[in-house]
Amino acid sequence: MLTMPGSPDPCVIVIFGASGDLVARKLIPALYEMAACNALPEQTRVLGVSRTEMTDEAWRERLQPWVKEHAARFDESTWARFATRLHYLSGSAADADIYPGLTERITSLSNGAKSGGNILFYLSVAPSLYEAIVERIGESGLVTEGRKWCSIDRDNVPWQRIVIEKPFGHDVESASRLNLALGRVFEEDAIYRIDHYLGKEIVQSLLVFRFANTIFEPLWNHRYIDHVQITAAETLGVGHRAAYYDGVGAIRDMIQSHLLQVLALVAMEPPTTFAAHHIRQEKIKVIDAIEPTPIDRLHEFAALGQYAPDEHEPAYHLSDGVPHDTTTETFAALAFRFDNWRWADTPFYLRTGKRMASKRTQIVIQFKQPPVQLIRHLHQLEVGPTPPGNQIVIEIAPRGGVSLRFQGKVPGSGVRLDTVAMDFDYADRFQAEPIESYGPLLIDAMRGDQTLFPHRYEVEGTWRAVAPFLGEESATIRRAIHANYEPASWGPAAADVLLQRNGRTWVNG
Ligand code: BG6
């Protein structure tokens, strides 16, 4: 919702994988929230597709408790109205046989609701099915707009768009194969690769923070900034997802997508305008400027870990469904450098992990020290550590907010320094209730606004950036990974060493 809001077009949202966890926990509660605040056009209908045999009514009943639990606010009468817009079709989306029935159902819902023939496909299925489903959609004839994109008057022509969940590929090759498969059916303008981090209010406000103010941008470069830390720490373990997670790991699950997207927003140049293509162009450029990591020096750029056991959960490598010799990381701290003018010699440290000390997602902009420690010299204050340089801490979770931390004088005789902060709390200031970030993103897709959806080159670029940490050579940084960090800690000792090597420390609060 960064660009000027046009209104969303009504459509039929076809959700493949409708009986899955994500749909119940996130998508439907998000759509409900959008309906509750009148952001979802009245004529929009949702058609869930999945192999489980179910009636419309059974699907609605199954979803209701999830919406009650996960939506910001629940109200029986709003739900009753919303539920009549939920429909269900059983069948396998990868199977060509269901498409005649699916087409008929979409047409009848669209005609009944007068939603104008627009279709928003949503792939919430196992990634291994993506290509097959996209191909089936192509063969079905449901996508009529794509190729004629430039030559027609768009206003009177129904559109078809597709939203795809992460993981978007497994590496550079699979991501670009998937992009090609999508491109055979949909124009790039109709492809919405969803990353729920970009739907978080405070992540979106990063661009406003940087580019609607004048006081930060002159400092936003290697001359003043020593380094940047981006952390997404979680307290939960992998739990019942262990078998799936083991094929993925923290780098694929969090860094390639969420954290590198945040990095792009922090590091990009000012866009020409706030239009989607201008913002995406700048993100592509800065992702392309990430220096390739030398594979013979991976340990200087990465620290990986797996959590140890405690009374609540076994050690990761002993979890059910995980091979006991697994080297998949549940924690990763990676250092990235840019080969560009703005960020020369300013590393960006990205860190994420399961079972850590607290649920905390934040960006720390760490400024350099003053050129001379004048106050210390003046007063011959030789004791105590050097005070930390100035910091801007942009907190994404648990609260949204920005804090500017700097040195102040402790009252009293003599000069004693302490860190003080100027704080902005998003919820307090705007009385804003946190909403599920999928909602605004889906509305954006219905408005045809791709600002908050990564372009194919961003996805391929971020896969390239993490590739050295995932390939065979990464065996060197996966040695002795088992149980190398305690639950409720900030990760393995190697993560501290990664920063200490350059005289830096992690900011955990
Ligand atoms: C998902 C990952 O994309 O993001 C999960 O697959 C992770 O493993 C989740 O827990 C974290 O999201 P958030 O919004 O809670 O930080």
Q: What domains sit in the chain, N to C, each tagged with a CATH number?
A: 12-165 (3.40.50.720), 199-500 (3.30.360.10)
Asked if 136 and 99 touch (Cβ cutoff 8 Å), the reply is yes
What are the pLDDT tens digits along the chain (509 aa)?
554 457 899 999 999 999 998 999 999 999 999 999 999 999 999 999 999 999 999 999 999 999 999 998 899 999 999 999 999 999 999 999 999 999 999 999 999 999 999 999 999 999 999 999 999 999 999 998 754 444 445 566 899 999 999 999 999 999 999 999 999 999 999 999 999 999 998 898 999 999 999 999 999 999 999 999 999 999 999 988 888 899 999 999 999 999 999 999 999 999 999 999 999 999 999 999 999 999 999 999 999 999 999 999 999 999 999 999 999 999 999 999 999 999 999 999 999 999 999 999 999 999 999 988 777 655 555 555 677 899 999 999 999 999 999 999 889 887 788 899 999 999 899 987 778 889 999 999 999 999 999 999 999 999 999 999 999 999 999 999 999 999 999 999 999 999 999 999 999 98
CA angle at 262 for the pair 272 and 180, rounded to the nearest 5°: 80
The predicted pLDDT at position 418 comes to 87
Looking at the CA of residue 232, tell me the nearest atom of ligand 1.
16
Q: Which of 70, 254, 331 to mutate to test the pocket of ligand 1 (most atoms within 8 A of CB)?
A: 254
Looking at the CA of residue 248, tell me the nearest atom of ligand 1.
6
Q: CA-to-CA distance for 463 and 450, rounded, in angstroms?
A: 20
The predicted pLDDT at position 134 comes to 98
The two tokens of residue 413 are 């005789």
The predicted pLDDT at position 72 comes to 87
Q: Is the CB of 436 under 6 A from ligand 1?
A: no
Q: Which of 258, 358, 441 to mutate to test the pocket of ligand 1 (most atoms within 8 A of CB)?
A: 258
Predicted structure pTM score: 0.94
Query: How far, in Å, is the centroid of ligand 1 from the Cα of 265?
Result: 19
Query: How far, in Å, is the centroid of ligand 1 from the Cα of 234?
Result: 8
Looking at the CA of residue 253, tell me the nearest atom of ligand 1.
6
Q: Looking at ligand 1, which residue's alpha carbon is closest to its atom 10?
A: 234
Question: Which residue out of 196, 258, 455, 482 is catalytically annotated?
Answer: 258
Looking at the CA of residue 200, tell me the nearest atom of ligand 1.
14
The predicted pLDDT at position 151 comes to 43
The predicted pLDDT at position 433 comes to 76
Question: Is the peptide bond between 167 and the residue preceding it cis, with omega within 30 degrees of 0?
Answer: yes
The two tokens of residue 404 are 């500017």
Q: Is the CB of 361 under 6 A from ligand 1?
A: yes
Is the alpha carbon torsion for 428, 433, 436, 441 positive or negative? negative
Is 258 annotated as catalytic? yes
Place of tokens 């009514």: 57
Q: Is the CB of 477 under 6 A from ligand 1?
A: no
Query: How far, in Å, is the centroid of ligand 1 from the Cα of 380?
Result: 48
